[in-house]
Structure 1
Amino acid sequence: MSNYTQNTLALHAGYDYDTQRTISVPIYQNTAYSFENLEQAAARFSLQELGNIYSRLTNPTNDVLARRLAAIEGGAFANVTSSGSAAVFYSLLNSAHSTDNILYSNKIYGGSQTLLSYVLPKRFGIQAKSFDIDNPASLEKLIDDKTKAIFFESLSNPQISIADTKAITDIAKKYGIITICDNTVATAFLHKPFDFGVDIVVYSLSKYVNGQGSTLGGAIIERENLNELIKNNPRYESFNTPDESYHGLVYADLPLPIFSIRIITEWLRNIGATLSAQSAWNLIQGLETLELRIQKHSQNALEVAKFLESHPKINSVFYPALQSNKYNNLLKKYFINSQASGLLSFEAQSYEEAKKICNEVKLFTIAANLGDSKSLLIHPASTTHSQLSKEELEIAGITPNTVRLSIGLESTSDLIDDLKQAIEK
């Protein structure tokens, strides 16, 4: 269905109707699958034949979601996971192992930063080095022969910075390094990382794809022809040398998207952060209306951002669609129709003022989530990014005065009135 537009793909891709001809994708609520005979079972376990084995690895409902996500993104293959954090974790583990290193943007979600700066180095022996997302040239001096991935967010949470994606991927290609872009906040309907040279796109599907704050999920999508970068690349010995846990299988010899296949056989098989079929079905429902919702989120957020920018008690507003924002030119370069999604942040005049606003709003809900149809707010320094040190918060551009808003689908006049009374109380 590659000739169809993204919105049509969101409604139809990956599903050719089951034997009952159901319009809605069925929920395959099962753990295992029957084989026609033992020979077929053995062929599937040895990857000589592709097919269902056990729902920790694959599931027909999950497969529809994965195919649909890959089609919308313009990718070759997708895997879905139990959460966005699992998707980030698996994509990094699939790229690097003990003694290797990963480069990551200084402006990313706090949980991802903790994973990279603490968990991977301390628990897995994978070192991580931060680079300045506003100065992609700083990447080159950090690269060595052990660098296996460059990780960044296309639209960062909560700083709302935009990555110069092409500048990053040009450097990565020069050194033969995999790039991993978290596109959660932008979604494929506003930004398509593969068009600018990214190798792997990851998502927290719990956010805008779900849209209802009801379901956890994650996704890992690889671009077309990624095998060409990995095969015979000395950086990626895990793909080019025999896997002793899989009877000496060499992934690079497979005529398949090898990054994705190894996600299944190595990480889903052995660690098992698998998406449930019920959750996959919920996420499919959200995906079908994502294009319409992300446009409305973006329109509402711009109106709210303009109000906040004009208010004398707000020091600064961070939203790329504002003409005054330093990322406005990058928004026009990389984002469809220059829309910037529904996430924005602002600086109150003090921590006490920030706390007061959070506590006095009535329509906004204090919640550690984003992308919901309902408007949410949070104080990052004391919640989502509270694990970071004072120095790390400063590098990330987060202060005690920062408040993050996830603008929903309500009337903007109601949202603005709510913020106004909280600010001025």
Structure 2
Amino acid sequence: MSADRKPGFNTLAIHAGAHPDPATGARATPIYQTTSYVFENVDHAAALFNLETFGNIYTRIMNPTQAVLEERIAALEGGTAALAVASGHAAQAIVFHALMEPGAEFVAARQLYGGSVNQFTQSFKKFDWNVRFADTDNAESFRAALSPKTKAIFVESIANPGGIITDIAAVSAVAKEAGVPLIVDNTLATPYLMRPIEHGADIIVLSLTKFLGGHGNSIGGAIVDCGTFDWFKSGRYPTLTEPSPSYHGVTFAETFGNFAFAIACRAFSLRDLGPAISPFNAFLILTGIETLPLRMQRHCDNAAAVAEWLSGHPQIDWVNYAGLPGNKFHALAKRYSPKGAGAVFTFGLKGGYEAGVKLVSNVKLFSHLANIGDTRSLIIHPASTTHRQLTDEARLRAGAGPDVVRLSIGLEDVADIIADLDQALKAA
């Protein structure tokens, strides 16, 4: 390939960050299953610990297998740098740890994964980090939720479980006016369907457990620094703009420029909180990413066919899939995600809560479990599982009412997927 040619997405999914192993010639990225690394000499060790040079110190902070994964994710999302961590939840915790101080606030979309709602409203309280909620489909509600204590705005590109497509550009305009970074969870879309950086995102978080890994065999998360935010402008982010006592007075934003946030997340938050990704999991996720473009297109094509079939079924009250022409978010899906509206969507059963429980109890091809983004088709009744910790009112606001069933459509023959739903609906 010529030096001036920019690789396409499929090429990046296979090659970004990876080179034959210099010691053995191995073409696949090796699993560097080690805790630590030998320094060249005392000066080399000192330079590493002072952040004067980049290299491996300890696998809690970085690892060669992890480094390839990070470079690949950054390339696919279009960011300046990435950090891989133990899970999607760990990625969120690391991001906010680098941004927040006690008493600070952030604004989040109300329509989020139930685990994120719980993390934001319960666990983050222990740090005195406080959330205000806004409505995903109303950018002005984010403006109304702002306060002088606001440090960030958080949304999902495609909301889980509701399948709502976020108008990222509109929310980004609010964030820019307020002088705070926009954080976008791009788990359901993946960079194959949508690149939030192109619509105004400053930080991207991902659960690698889902579509990027894609096979239900490994847990991981990632943070992507888009390199677009001016950390000095507002003076609200001392972790990045004030000399760090942990590193002999290094000022992250000054020293590392447009990838300062990724470095701060690694050298400060990951170092001290410790949710490191396993090298083996990094290897499995890397392998999964190589087929991401092929898998995501099949996921979307199957999901569109299943959603259309369900929309005509007499036992189904409604189907919320942005890929359907009559859906409220169809225009946004065409704008932001033209290759497909994702593979996760919800529908409502006319029989309500009890019908939902019966349906998930009678599927055979579908797996009833709390995950999405697997090669296999997955089903769950959020009100009785992932969102059961929320109040009835909060479940309704999150799009997880008593009648709601969530599907994650897999890669099986679509006729077999539909047949399984058909027999389970009859049994229910």
Whether these two folds match at TM > 0.5 is yes
* Deviations 1:399-424 (CA, angstroms, capped at 9, x unpaired): 11111011101111111111111112
How far did 1:234 drift?
1.3
1:345-364 aligned at under 5 Å gives the runs 345-349=346-350, 350-364=352-366
How far did 1:142 drift?
1.7
Q: Distance in 1 between matches of 2:393 and 2:82?
A: 36
Of residues 67-76 and 395-404 in structure 1, the stretch that sits farther from structure 2 once superposed is 395-404
Q: Aligned with 2:83: secondary structure?
A: strand
| Residues 1:59 and 2:59 aligned together | no
Q: Distance in 2 between matches of 1:132 and 1:174?
A: 18
Q: Distance in 1 between matches of 2:77 and 2:162?
A: 24
Q: Distance in 2 between matches of 1:267 and 1:325?
A: 41
Q: Distance in 1 between matches of 2:320 and 2:98?
A: 34
* Deviations 1:268-289 (CA, angstroms, capped at 9, x unpaired): 1111100111111100110000
How far did 1:232 drift?
4.2
| Residues 1:153 and 2:168 aligned together | no
| Residues 1:393 and 2:409 aligned together | no
| 8 A Cα contact 1:145 1:235, kept in partner | no
Q: Aligned with 2:191: secondary structure?
A: coil
| 8 A Cα contact 1:210 1:283, kept in partner | yes
Letter in 1 for 2:347: F
After superposition, the CA RMSD in angstroms is 1.2
Q: Aligned with 2:425: secondary structure?
A: helix
Q: Distance in 1 between matches of 2:181 and 2:227?
A: 13
1:134-213 aligned at under 5 Å gives the runs 134-213=137-216
TM value normalised by structure 1: 0.97
Q: Report the counterpart of residue 384 of structure 1 in structure 2.
A: 386
Q: 1:188 to 1:238 in 2, by over 3 A?
A: same
Q: Report the counterpart of residue 218 of structure 2 in structure 1.
A: 215
How far did 1:12 drift?
0.5
| 8 A Cα contact 1:77 1:222, kept in partner | yes
| 8 A Cα contact 1:105 1:151, kept in partner | yes
The correspondence for 1:114, drawn from 95, 118, 127, is: 118
Letter in 1 for 2:141: S
Deviating 4+ runs (over 4 angstroms): none
1:256-405 aligned at under 5 Å gives the runs 256=257, 257-337=259-339, 339-349=340-350, 350-405=352-407
Q: Report the counterpart of residue 42 of structure 2 in structure 1.
A: 38
Q: 1:22 to 1:336 in 2, by over 3 A?
A: farther
How far did 1:167 drift?
0.2
Q: Distance in 1 between matches of 2:68 and 2:237?
A: 30
Letter in 2 for 1:30: T
Q: Aligned with 2:284: secondary structure?
A: helix
Q: Distance in 2 between matches of 1:333 and 1:38?
A: 54
- The share of aligned pairs that are identical, in percent, is 41
| 8 A Cα contact 2:383 2:401, kept in partner | yes
Q: Distance in 1 between matches of 2:338 and 2:320?
A: 19
Q: Distance in 2 between matches of 1:387 and 1:80?
A: 28
The correspondence for 1:424, drawn from 408, 423, 426, is: 426
Q: Distance in 2 between matches of 1:233 and 1:52?
A: 33
Of residues 11-20 and 376-385 in structure 1, the stretch that sits farther from structure 2 once superposed is 11-20
Q: Aligned with 2:193: secondary structure?
A: coil
| 8 A Cα contact 2:377 2:407, kept in partner | yes
* Deviations 1:208-227 (CA, angstroms, capped at 9, x unpaired): 1111100000000011343x
| 8 A Cα contact 2:256 2:263, kept in partner | no
| 8 A Cα contact 1:178 1:199, kept in partner | yes
| 8 A Cα contact 2:124 2:130, kept in partner | yes
| 8 A Cα contact 1:232 1:240, kept in partner | no
Q: Aligned with 1:209: secondary structure?
A: coil
How far did 1:174 drift?
1.1
* Deviations 1:65-110 (CA, angstroms, capped at 9, x unpaired): 0000100111100000011110111112212121110100010001
Q: Distance in 2 between matches of 1:305 and 1:183?
A: 22
Q: Report the counterpart of residue 408 of structure 2 in structure 1.
A: 406
Q: Distance in 1 between matches of 2:246 and 2:49?
A: 12
* Deviations 1:298-332 (CA, angstroms, capped at 9, x unpaired): 00001110111000110001110001110000001
| Residues 1:243 and 2:244 aligned together | yes
Q: Report the counterpart of residue 49 of structure 1 in structure 2.
A: 53
Letter in 1 for 2:118: T
| Residues 1:100 and 2:104 aligned together | yes
Q: Distance in 2 between matches of 1:141 and 1:371?
A: 34
Structure 1 unaligned runs (5+)? none
Letter in 2 for 1:5: G
Q: Aligned with 2:282: secondary structure?
A: helix
Q: Aligned with 1:254: secondary structure?
A: helix
Equivalenced residues, count: 421
Q: Aligned with 1:322: secondary structure?
A: coil
| 8 A Cα contact 1:189 1:336, kept in partner | no
| 8 A Cα contact 2:202 2:228, kept in partner | no
How far did 1:235 drift?
1.7
